[in-house]
Amino acid sequence: MKRYLHTATRLLTRRMAMAALAGSAVALAAAPGSTARAAEWPTEPITIVVAYPAGGGTDISIRALTDALGEKLGQPILVQNVGGAGGGVAATKVAKDKPDGYTLLATNSTSITLAPLVQKALYDMDSFEHVAIIGEFQNAFFTGTKQPYDTLDGLIETVKSENRAIKGASQLALDRLVMQYIAKERGVEFIPVPVSGGSGSVQAVMAGDVDVAFSGGSWAPIVKAGDAKALFAASYERLKLAPDLISMKELGFPFGVTSHISLHAPAGTPKEIVDKIAAALEPAVQSEMVQNVGEKRFMDMTYRGGDAAAAVMMKERETYEALVKTVGATN
Amino acid sequence: MIEYMSIAAGEILTPTVIGYIILGVLIGYIVGALPGMNRTTAIALAIPFTFTMPPAAALSFLIGINKGGAAGAAVSAILLNVPGEPSAVVTTYDGYPMTKQGKAQKALVIALVASVVGDLLATVVLILLAQPVARFAIGLGPIELASILIFSITFIAAVSGDSFYKALIAGILGLLLSAPGIDIETGLPRMTFGLLELYDGIPLLAVAIGTLALSEILVQIDEGWRGDHRYPQVAADKAKDSEPVFGMKDAVQVAPSILRGSLVGTLVGILPGLGATLASFLAYTWVRQSSKTPEAFGKGAPEGVAASESADNATVPAALIPVFAIGVPGSLSTALLMGAFMMHGLTPGPFLFKESGSVVFGIYLGMLLASAALLLVGLFGQRIFSMVIQIRKSVLLPVIVFLCIVGAYMEAGGMFGVYLMLVFGFVGYFMKKFDYSFVTFVVGYVLGPMAELTIRQSLIISDSNPAALIDHPIAILFLLLAVFSIWRFAIAGARSMQIDRAATPTDEPSDTPPEGGDR
């Protein structure tokens, strides 16, 4: 009896499996596939691939705007975190994805503009349509309160008089390049102390272990609390959220670095769709939630879409090309 | 102050908010208990649902998930020998033997009590001492962290179990596994075989799910084939008629372990990047080493479960201390929570109190309520979960395999994570078969990247000059402790191997149920 039952269930499940298979075949045949016209887009949920683990600045700003964006587009927005290789894994994945507007990449613009220059990457600037820039990190260099200097010149003088190299907490290829450039220009040596993330920079500074550190915003609250001193902004112009801080331009450098939070679609995505996303993004970025997050996280959430965004990305690329050439090292 | 408290109480002590907190703990508990599912993902998914809640309620809800997850992970560790999360791996050491002895109910209650107490104590430290403790912790730079990690690595030798050398080999293999990835100093890829997915190292969760969960399933399938149903089919509460599940005697027995576990968990939790797995591992080792009957550990000692679980849960509130006090997150789940703070208009850090004092009190109150909710959810949840061990294996095992695959897909980078998980499932299977400690393997792997980072940082900062240590007394202390522990464990371990070899020619682990933890 038991055995009979067993066979029966097995048959049953097999038949069910066949039915399911047949069903899905029908579904496949009936599906419009990727031919859905741009005019009807979107007819299914849109996935935004965030290139970093959940909790970072890019992730938080995207999560803050999904509700507003989804409402505008009439489809839910799914957020998928694909961390790895400083954004490289996600960029590779999206670059190879179908250019149908249903998969977008949210990343730090340096992973598109700088990364292909300094590490082996399976994508480049032209693997993407640059949909929009939704915000700007407030990159700056800072140091601990116990250090005797308050400026870049003070730092250089101090290490020169002590006849040693600058030790700086470095979390990215970006800050390493900038410090190496500055060190070369001013005739000192720079030794990067690798740290992980902005919180690593903050820790290194507060423990008093480094001369200088870089972060995209983590520096602001501890500087405000009097636990650290900001030295200078890494951007060419002054930072929007810290207008008192001297910038690279004023220090006499011909460039500055700004990391943007940017949104990209695989190259070949129809322009109509890109424009549609961009149009829906603008009010979403201006929503209270996003602005709130920007303020707390010390990010300047200003929307730039279309050609403006592409121009910013191009400019960034040129800066990094020149920088890599000058520093000459590939690290 | 009083004014803040009354505002906070008015906001939190409403049926809706209390309901949210219980719901959060419940979600966490279930996610924690399911192998493969991870509480960090649960928090990430839950954040959008909190947008409509008031800030204090939202954060209590999210912290509740975290707390529930830390406690829930013990359930599957005890009942199935499959830790729900890596941090519960040490709980399997004594929890599962207790289940095999028909003491599942007791093990679960001890784990729960330990979780709640550890959680509560660390929450109290957070409330009373956040500022000074966080200030102290942030002053510990790479040199101190490196010495703490070196000290922790020497502990691998202490949990060797049956075979000292095999445990050491497994631990070192675990450490080596952290070699692939981008070299932190030069920025060049190292042993990545051109795979972009390996640039950030081998994903921890793929390794953990494979070696901890899937491997156990393979072992059980293997044993089922051989007709050896090791799976306990006994009713969970065999001991019910003779004595209470958790009596005064048990409480007295495990209390010191819980206190030690809470202490270790709180300290490790405050320090950035060390994490709950290390905390439970250190607590377990400490309690075992200081026990009068260290030989009972690994065979169903309630103290082992208590130490591991209290430490695991204590790290949850402790990891929030640097977030509240300085605004620096020490782990992925706290980074997520910090993001949630910001979305709700709070700025974690020194100004949190000045700017939003009443909300902070609300969160404190919510966290205390979450501890209470944990006890409640745990007591009811265990009744239901402990039925799991009576489910037929042919039903249960496929479900767990499914969860492993989904978990690896979600948490370890898509299909790549799944393949890795499968590979490590077989690695773990053979390790279990040949009696190599998979615990030291995983602990070695968890410690590896952090140890490398901090040691290399220290070398750069100190110009590789050992004289720099003079300015770091805490580092010297831990390095001395490390030397002591190498001397103590290595010599004792090597000696025990020689004695073992002389006494028993076979290295088959004995299956006879030893007497529990009764002294």
Q: Which residue has the tokens 């921890």?
A: B204
Residue B163 has pLDDT above 80, yes or no: no
The Cα B341–Cα A167 span in angstroms is 33
Nearest-CA neighbor of B345 among B54, B95, B107? B54
* CB–CB contact A209 B138 (8 Å): no
Q: Which of A305-309, B100-104, B250-254, B478-482 has the highest mean pLDDT?
A: B478-482
The Cα B103–Cα B96 span in angstroms is 9
* CB–CB contact A207 B139 (8 Å): yes
Please provide the average confidence, as pLDDT, over all residues in chain B. Answer: 84
pLDDT band at B162, cuts 50/70/90? low
Asked if residue B270 lies in contact with residue B134, where contact means CB atoms within 8 angstroms, the answer is yes
B434 touches chain A (CB under 8 A): no
Q: Which residues pair with A305 in a beta bridge?
A: A132
pLDDT band at B236, cuts 50/70/90? very low
- Which helix (H) or strand (E) segment holds residue A44: the answer is none
The beta-carbon neighbor of A209 closest among B142, B197, B336 is: B142
Mean pLDDT in residue range B411-437: 89
Q: Which residue has the tokens 């048959």?
A: A11
Residue type, A180: Q
Residue B514: predicted pLDDT: 39
Residue B231 has pLDDT above 70, yes or no: no
* CB–CB contact A89 B142 (8 Å): no
DSSP letter for B197, please.
G
Residue B43: predicted pLDDT: 87
Residue type, B194: G
Residue B184 lies in a domain: yes
Residue A150: predicted pLDDT: 92
Helix (H, G, I), strand (E, B) or coil at B352: helix
Asked if residue B445 lies in contact with residue B204, where contact means CB atoms within 8 angstroms, the answer is yes
Mean pLDDT in residue range B164-173: 87
Among B38, B198, B343, most A C-beta atoms within 10 A, so best to mutate, is B343
In Å, how far are A211, B109, B177 from B429, measured between CA atoms? 49, 29, 17
For B432-491, what is each residue's pLDDT tens digit? Answer: 888 888 888 888 888 888 889 889 999 998 888 888 888 889 999 999 999 988 888 777
Residue B279 has pLDDT above 60, yes or no: yes
The beta-carbon neighbor of B461 closest among A173, A193, A289 is: A193
Asked if residue A107 lies in contact with residue A87, where contact means CB atoms within 8 angstroms, the answer is yes
Residue B234: predicted pLDDT: 53
Greater confidence, B202 or A28? B202
Kindly state the tokens that stand for B489.
């464990």
From A88's Cα to the closest Cα of chain B, the distance in A is: 7
The Cα A207–Cα A202 span in angstroms is 8
Residue A247: predicted pLDDT: 93
* CB–CB contact B184 A221 (8 Å): no
CATH of the domain spanning A140-233? 3.40.190.10
* CB–CB contact B335 A56 (8 Å): yes
Alpha helices by DSSP H, listed for B331-464, are 332-343, 352-385, 393-411, 415-433, 438-461
The Cα A279–Cα A264 span in angstroms is 14
Residue A29: predicted pLDDT: 41
The beta-carbon neighbor of B138 closest among A92, A120, A207 is: A207
Residue A201: predicted pLDDT: 86
The Cα B77–Cα B388 span in angstroms is 12
Residue B106 lies in a domain: yes
Residue B150 lies in a domain: yes
* CB–CB contact A192 B457 (8 Å): no
Residue A206: predicted pLDDT: 85
Could you tell me the sign of the dihedral formed by the alpha carbons of B45, B49, B55, B56, in that order? negative
Residue B488 exposure: Cα atoms within 13 Å on the Cβ side: 16
* CB–CB contact B141 A207 (8 Å): yes
Angle between helices B39-46 and B393-411 (to 10 degrees): 60
Residue B9: predicted pLDDT: 84
Residue A260 has pLDDT above 80, yes or no: yes
Residue A16: predicted pLDDT: 43
From B468's Cα to the closest Cα of chain A, the distance in A is: 12
CA B462, B464, B468 angle in degrees (round to 5)? 40
The Cα B317–Cα B338 span in angstroms is 13
Q: How many residues does chain A have?
A: 331
In chain B, which residue's Cα lies nearest the Cα of A198? B328
**B471: Cβ–Cβ under 8 A, 6 or more apart, which residues?**
none
- Decide: residue B508, CB within 10 A, 0-12 exposed, 13-18 middle, 19+ buried: exposed
Tell me the backbone φ, ψ of residue A305, rounded to 5 degrees.
-120, 175
CATH of the domain spanning A46-137+258-327? 3.40.190.150
Q: Which residues pair with A135 in a beta bridge?
A: A261
Which domain range does residue B231 map to?
2-47+54-501
Asked if residue B131 lies in contact with residue B404, where contact means CB atoms within 8 angstroms, the answer is no
The Cα A46–Cα A110 span in angstroms is 24
pLDDT band at B519, cuts 50/70/90? very low
Weakest-pLDDT range from A28-37, A137-146, A207-216, B305-314: A28-37
Residue B515 lies in a domain: no
Residue A31: predicted pLDDT: 41
End-to-end CA gap in chain B: 49
pLDDT band at A40, cuts 50/70/90? confident
B455 touches chain A (CB under 8 A): no
- Residues of chain B with C-beta less than 8 angstroms from the C-beta of A292: 342-343, 345
Other Cβ atoms closer than 10 A to A228 = 25
Asked if residue A87 lies in contact with residue A302, where contact means CB atoms within 8 angstroms, the answer is no
Residue A39 exposure: Cα atoms within 13 Å on the Cβ side: 0
Asked if residue B400 lies in contact with residue B35, where contact means CB atoms within 8 angstroms, the answer is yes
Residue B255 exposure: Cα atoms within 13 Å on the Cβ side: 7
Other Cβ atoms closer than 10 A to A186 = 16
Asked if residue A66 lies in contact with residue A48, where contact means CB atoms within 8 angstroms, the answer is yes
- Residues of chain A with C-beta less than 8 angstroms from the C-beta of B138: 203, 206-207
Chains A & B: contacts with CB separation below 8 Å = 146
DSSP track, A179-202: HHHHHHHHT--EEEEE--HHHHHH
Residue A49: predicted pLDDT: 93
Residue B276 lies in a domain: yes
The Cα B482–Cα B458 span in angstroms is 17
The Cα A231–Cα A229 span in angstroms is 6
From A296's Cα to the closest Cα of chain B, the distance in A is: 6
Burial B210-248 (b: 16+ CB within 10 A, else e): bbbbbbbbbbbeeeeeeeeeebbeeebbebeeeeebbee
* CB–CB contact B138 A218 (8 Å): no
Helix (H, G, I), strand (E, B) or coil at B65: helix
Confirm whether the ipTM is greater than 0.95. no
Q: Which residues pair with A4 in a beta bridge?
A: none
Residue B160 has pLDDT above 70, yes or no: no
Mean pLDDT in residue range A276-281: 92
The beta-carbon neighbor of A193 closest among B187, B341, B457 is: B457
Residue B399 lies in a domain: yes
Greater confidence, B317 or B38? B317
Residue B152 lies in a domain: yes
Tell me the backbone φ, ψ of residue A207, rounded to 5 degrees.
-80, -5
- Residues of chain A with C-beta less than 8 angstroms from the C-beta of B351: 221, 224-225
pLDDT band at B506, cuts 50/70/90? very low
The beta-carbon neighbor of B413 closest among A82, A119, A173 is: A82
Mean pLDDT in residue range B4-32: 89
Greater confidence, B62 or B506? B62
pLDDT band at A6, cuts 50/70/90? very low
Domain boundaries, chain A: 46-137+258-327, 140-233
CA B270, B276, B279 angle in degrees (round to 5)? 80
From A250's Cα to the closest Cα of chain B, the distance in A is: 30
Among A89, A205, A212, most B C-beta atoms within 10 A, so best to mutate, is A89
Asked if residue B203 lies in contact with residue A93, where contact means CB atoms within 8 angstroms, the answer is no
Residue type, B350: P
Gyration radius of chain B over CA positions: 22
Greater confidence, B181 or B372? B372
Residue B134 has pLDDT above 60, yes or no: yes
Kindly state the tokens that stand for B161.
């179990």
Asked if residue B394 lies in contact with residue B179, where contact means CB atoms within 8 angstroms, the answer is no
Please provide the average confidence, as pLDDT, over all residues in chain A. Answer: 84
Weakest-pLDDT range from A220-229, A283-292, B223-232: B223-232
- Residues of chain B with C-beta less than 8 angstroms from the C-beta of A176: 187
Residue A8 has pLDDT above 70, yes or no: no
In chain B, the number of structural domains is: 1
Greater confidence, B353 or B209? B209
Residue B12: predicted pLDDT: 84
From B438's Cα to the closest Cα of chain A, the distance in A is: 26
Helix (H, G, I), strand (E, B) or coil at A162: coil
Residue B437 lies in a domain: yes
Mean pLDDT in residue range B195-206: 83
The beta-carbon neighbor of B44 closest among A54, A196, A207 is: A54
* CB–CB contact B44 A81 (8 Å): yes
Gyration radius of chain A over CA positions: 24
- Residues of chain B with C-beta less than 8 angstroms from the C-beta of A89: 196-197, 199-200, 413
Residue B233: predicted pLDDT: 53
